[in-house]
Amino acid sequence: MDFSLPAEDDPRRLEVREWLASHPDRSYRDLYERGYAVPHWPRPWGLDAGPEQQIIVDDELARAGVRAPHHRNPVPINNCGQSLLRFGTPEQQQRFLPPALACEEIWCMLFSEPSAGSDVGALRTTAVRQGDHYVIRGQKMWTSLADKAEIGVLVARTDPSVPKHAGLSQFLVDMKSPGITIRPIIDMTGEASEYNEVFFDNVIVPAERLLGQEGDGWKICMQQLQTERVALSRPGVIWGSGPSARELLEGLMASGRLADPALRDEAARLYIEGEILRLLAFRSLSDRMNARTAGPEGAVRKMVAAPHGQRVLDLAKRSQGVAGMVKDRRVLPVSKAERGPYSNWDHAYWWSPAVTLGVGTQEILKNVVAERILGLPRDKDPTRHTPWAQLAPGAVPAPAAEGGRA
Ligand SMILES: Cc1cc2nc3c(=O)[nH]c(=O)nc-3n(C[C@H](O)[C@H](O)[C@H](O)COP(=O)(O)OP(=O)(O)OC[C@H]3O[C@@H](n4cnc5c(N)ncnc54)[C@H](O)[C@@H]3O)c2cc1C
C-alpha cells in the first residue's frame, strides 16, 4: 500500500463540509448539481475527482448524516449509469442521467431469469425488432427495486442465430409500460421489500432505447457486474444493513458479554477477519490512487466479505441469548444513537443468506479467482459456441408478421 488518507483539515474536505453545513435543506438534485452524487465521473456529471477527493465526499456526507445518493439509487450510480457514458447516445445521456443521478427516477436491473442466474447468457427473454420499436416477451426474476423503479435496464435476446452471449442487447425500459407485471417476492425476513418477478407480455420499447449496438449486451453486462462486486464488498457489512466486526466487538464489550471465553474467542477471530478485509479494501484503494488497473480482486473481496458478514450477524444474534429471538424490524437507516451500542440485528440476520448469492454466488466467484488469478483451466461450458437457436429451439420467438405484433 502506498497512499495517505486526506487529513482532517484538507481544504477540499473543508469545502465540502462548509457547503453541506450551509445547505441544510439540500435535495438529492442539489447534491447531483454540486457533483457529489458521482464525484468520480467526468464533468458535467461529476467532478472528475480522483480517489482521494471521492473519499472526502463520502466521508463528509456520512459525517453530516446524509444518505448518499448511491444508497437511494444504486443501479445507475453503482452499475449501469456509466455504461451510458461509454455506449449511450448524447440524447440518452441527457434524457436518463440527470433524473437518475438526482434520484428522481429510480432504476432497476433486469438481468436474471428463472433459468438464467449465474449463466445470464442463457436468458430467454426476447426483443424482436419491428420497424421503429422492439417487442419484449419473457420473465425476469429477483429484480431488486422493480416495484419502485421508473426505468429498468433490460438484457434480452435480439439474435437467436448466434452463440448465446453474442445475441444479447440492453435496453432502457419504461417500467410503467403497458404489458409489464411486477410481483413482489416475500423472503425470509417475512417482508416483500427486496425483490420481484417481472413479466413482459408484448411490451413495446422504442428503438432509441437500445443501449449501444445490437449484440453489445453481454459486454456491457460484464462491466456493470464487476463494478457492483467492488461496491458490495465493504468489509463485514451486509449491503449496508449489518454491523461491522469492530462495531459488534464494541457492542459486546459495552454489554459485558466478552467475559464468556468462547464468545471472546469467536469475536476476536471475526475482528481479525474484518481487519484483513479492511486492508484488502485499502490495497485496491492504493491501486486506484496510483493509477494501477483494478484487477479481479473485487471477486476475492466479495467472496470473503459476504460469508464474514453472515458470521458477524450470526454472532450478534446468538450472543444475546433469549433477547436475540425477539423480532426487531428496524432496517437502516437507523442511526447509532437510535439503536444504541447493540441491537439484535434481526432483519439483517434473516436477510443475510442473500449476500452469498446476489451478484455472483460463492462458486461463481471461486471460478473467477481460479481462472483469472490462479490461472487454472477455464470452467467448461460446452454450449458456449453453439447458436442459441440450436440450444433452446423452444425459446426462439416466431418471426413477427409485417406490421403486426411479434
Ligand atoms: C438479494 C438479491 C438481489 C438480487 N438482485 C438482482 C437484480 O436486481 N437484478 C437481477 O437481474 N438479479 C438479481 N439477483 C439475482 C442474482 O444475480 C442471482 O441470484 C445469482 O446470479 C444466482 O443465480 P440463481 O439464483 O439463478 O442461481 P443458479 O445460477 O441457478 O445457481 C444455483 C447453484 O448452482 C451453482 N452454480 C451455477 N453455475 C455454476 C458453475 N458454473 N460452477 C459452479 N457452481 C455453479 C451456484 O453457485 C448455486 O449454488 C439478486 C439476487 C439476490 C440474492
Q: Residues with Cβ < 8 Å from 35, sequence gap 6 or more?
A: 43, 45, 46, 47, 49
Q: Which CATH number fits domain 86-215: 3.30.70.100, 2.30.110.10, 2.40.110.10, 2.40.110.20?
A: 2.40.110.10
Give the whole-angstrom CA distance, residue 104 versus residue 171. 20
Q: Which atom of ligand 1 is nearest to the CA of 363?
A: 47
pTM, full prediction = 0.88
Q: How far is the CA of 119 from the centre of ligand 1 (A)?
A: 8
Q: Residues with Cβ < 8 Å from 24, sequence gap 6 or more?
A: none
Residue 284 identity:
S
Q: What is the pLDDT of residues 336-381, one digit of tens each?
A: 554 444 455 777 888 889 889 987 899 999 998 999 889 999 888 8
Q: How far is the CA of 116 from the centre of ligand 1 (A)?
A: 8
Q: How far is the CA of 118 from the centre of ligand 1 (A)?
A: 5
Are 38 and 58 a contacting pair, CB within 8 Å? no
- The three cell numbers of residue 401 are 408478421
What average pLDDT score do residues 247-269 get? 89
Chain center to CA of 267: 28
Q: How many CA atoms lie within 13 A of 183 on its CB side?
A: 7
Q: Tell me what percent of the residues of the chain surpass a pLDDT of 70.
A: 85
Domain boundary assignment for the chain:
12-70, 86-215, 233-373
Nearest Cα residue to atom 2 of ligand 1? 358
With the most atoms of ligand 1 within 8 angstroms of its CB, the residue from 361, 362, 364, 378 to mutate is: 361
pLDDT of 234 reads 45
Ligand 1 pocket residues where CB is under 6 Å: 108-112, 117-118, 142-144, 194-195, 354, 357-359, 361, 363-364, 367, 379
Q: How far is the CA of 114 from the centre of ligand 1 (A)?
A: 10
Q: What is the pLDDT of residues 195-246, one digit of tens each?
A: 899 999 999 999 999 999 999 999 999 888 766 544 544 444 555 566 788 8
- The three cell numbers of residue 236 are 463485514
pLDDT of 364 reads 92
pLDDT of 346 reads 79
Nearest Cα residue to atom 40 of ligand 1? 364
pLDDT band at 3 (very low <50, low <70, confident <90, very high): low
Q: Which residue has the cell 442459441?
A: 388
Q: How far is the CA of 112 from the centre of ligand 1 (A)?
A: 8
pLDDT of 328 reads 63
Question: 233-373: what fold?
Answer: Butyryl-CoA Dehydrogenase, subunit A; domain 3 (1.20.140)
